[in-house]
Amino acid sequence: MDNEMTLSFVAISENESLARMAITSFVAQLDPTIDELSEFKTIVSEAVSNAIIHGYDEDGKGIVTVHAVRDGDLVSVAVKDNGKGIFDVKKAMEPLFTSKAELERSGMGFTIMESFADNLQVESEPNVGTVVTFSKKFYSVKMPQIS
Amino acid sequence: MNYEINMHLNEIAVIRLFGELDHHETEKIRAHISKTILQGNLTTIIWNLERLNFMDSSGIGLILGRMRELSTVNGQTFILNPSNTMKKIFQFSGLASYMMEGTEADAILHARGIVNG
């Protein structure tokens, strides 16, 4: 393990950008390409937004925790909340499914996360909380070795 | 996050988005964008994402929501200059066919062609 971080914040929507900023700095050592970095930020943004909006209904009290570990080129992230949980994870992960259409949530969050992450797991228990874990390997642009 | 709306002939709205578009920012700007574009006889929205540095699925919700508002007048939507990551997000969401290569002027001409045709 090369590096590790934990970031916790209350469930208000302005912390979505805080989480993206922290995770961007965390992977900076890997010299990610623009596309790798923006896909990685998108996954984090979706997971954190879900925790804030769906886990806690933006109550400003619940705590969202982002835990990240870097091991060589591989970064693993867990986004955790102790909110209301997802009653049917399979249904929640279907493209276009949303429980908050009135907020113009597109229902594409999990589809985007699954597409951009190397692997993604969602564990949830009603009234206990949700943990979204994923990892992504960074291929980056390596400087040629001069021998 | 910031944005500009320019109306052309009271029919075409060109919306330029700047900075990062997430759930938080979308909630702040959605009502105002909606109110502004629904004045006039709007038939077309052109989203220029050239200076948008980041967008997650909230952007899909924002664009789809305005498409719904335009659907009563069979309105048109064009999306210009998405980043590679945004292109993928639009593809996953079934919005790939609304992306257009070209400038705002190209999109306006294209829209007027459809409007007048």
Question: For residue B116, is pLDDT > 70?
Answer: no
A39 tagged catalytic: no
Q: Which residues contact A57 (CB under 8 A, 6 or more apart)?
A: A83, A84
Whether A20 sits inside 8 A of B93 (CB atoms) is: no
A119 is catalytic: no
Q: Where are the domains of chain B?
A: 2-116
Cα radius of gyration rounded to whole Å, chain A: 16
When the pLDDT of each residue in chain B is averaged and rounded to a whole number, the result is 92
Which positions in chain B have a beta carbon within 8 angstroms of at least one beta carbon in chain A?
Answer: 20, 22-24, 26-27, 30, 54, 56-58, 60-62, 64-65, 83-85, 88-89, 92-93
The structure tokens listed for A138 are 């960074």
In chain A, which ranges are E strands? 3-10, 63-71, 74-81, 119-125, 129-137
In chain A, positions 62-101, which contact chain B (CB-CB < 8 Å)?
A: 95
Whether pTM exceeds 0.90: yes
pLDDT of residue A3: 96
DSSP state of A54: I
Q: Is A46 a residue of the active site? A: yes
Nearest to B24 among A13, A38, A115 (CB): A13
Of the listed ranges A74-78, B51-55, B113-117, the one predicted with least confidence? B113-117
Give B37's pLDDT tier (boundaries 50, 70, 90).
confident
Of the partner residues B24, B65, B92, the one whose CB lies closest to the CB of residue A108: B92
Is residue A36 within 8 Å of residue B85, measured between CB atoms? Answer: no
Residue A122 distance to chain B (closest CA, Å): 18
User: How open is the CA angle B112-B116-B117, to the nearest 5 degrees?
Assistant: 110
Whether the complex's predicted ipTM is more than 0.90 is answered with yes
Rounded CA separation A22/A18 (Å): 6
In the predicted structure, residue B117 carries a pLDDT above the cut 50? no
Write down the catalytic residue from A39, A58, A82, A105. A105
Q: What structural domains and CATH numbers belong to chain A?
A: 3-137 (3.30.565.10)
> Which residues of chain A are modeled with pLDDT < 50?
none
Burial of A144 (0-12, 13-18, 19+ CB in 10 A): exposed
Give A39's contacts (C-beta < 8 A, 6+ positions apart).
A116, A136, B85, B88
Q: What is the pLDDT of residue A105?
A: 87
pLDDT, residue B114, reads 57
Please report residues of B whose CB lies closer than 8 A to that of A95: 92
- The CATH architecture one would assign to domain B2-116 is 2-Layer Sandwich (3.30)
